[in-house]
Amino acid sequence: MSSPTPSLSKVRAFPALESKAAARLASALEESADTTIFVNGTTLQLPDVAHAALIEVLTRMSRGDEVSVSTVESLLNTSQAATMAGISASYLRKLTDSGTIPVEYRGTHRRIRPASVQAWLDARAEGPSETLE
C-alpha cells in the first residue's frame, strides 16, 4: 500500500526578525544540542526535532525571510480510505460522489482526510446506515 499524500493546512505566517537578533539566536542554538526554555516558571528541554525546527525558522528570519508555519495532514487515496473504512473502493467512491464523505481532488485523483472517514464510521455506528444505489 502506498503512503498517504501530505496536505498543508492551518498555515500561519510570521514576519522576518531584525537580522542581527535572529542571527544571534540561531547561532546560540546551533552551538548546543540542548535548548532549555522556561514556560510559566517550568523548565523544559526542547526535543531534538523542535530544536532543529527552531534553528531553521530563526535562520530564515535572519535572512529577512517571512516564515510560514503549517500543519502537514495526511490525505488518503480511495483504496487507503476504503481499507480504513472496511468497505470496497467502489462503495467509497459512491460515498464521495454523493458528498457523504468529503473529498479533495489533486488533479483527477481523489484524496480523503482520515478524519472524514472516521467521522463517517462514527456516524454510522450511532444511527441507521445509508444505502446508496
pLDDT in tens, 7-34: 555 678 888 888 788 788 778 877 877 7
Q: What is the pTM of this model?
A: 0.52
**Residue % of the chain over a pLDDT of 90:** 39
Q: Report how far residue 7's alpha carbon sits from residue 21's, in angstroms, rounded to the nearest whole number.
A: 33
Question: Considering only CA atoms, which of 69, 84, 68, 70 is closest in space to residue 4?
Answer: 84
Query: Cβ(111)–Cβ(103) under 8 Å?
Result: yes
Q: What is the pLDDT of residue 14?
A: 87
E strand residue ranges, the chain = 5-14, 36-39, 42-45, 67-75, 104-106, 109-111
C-alpha 77/C-alpha 37 separation (Å) is 40
**Cell digits for 99?**
458528498
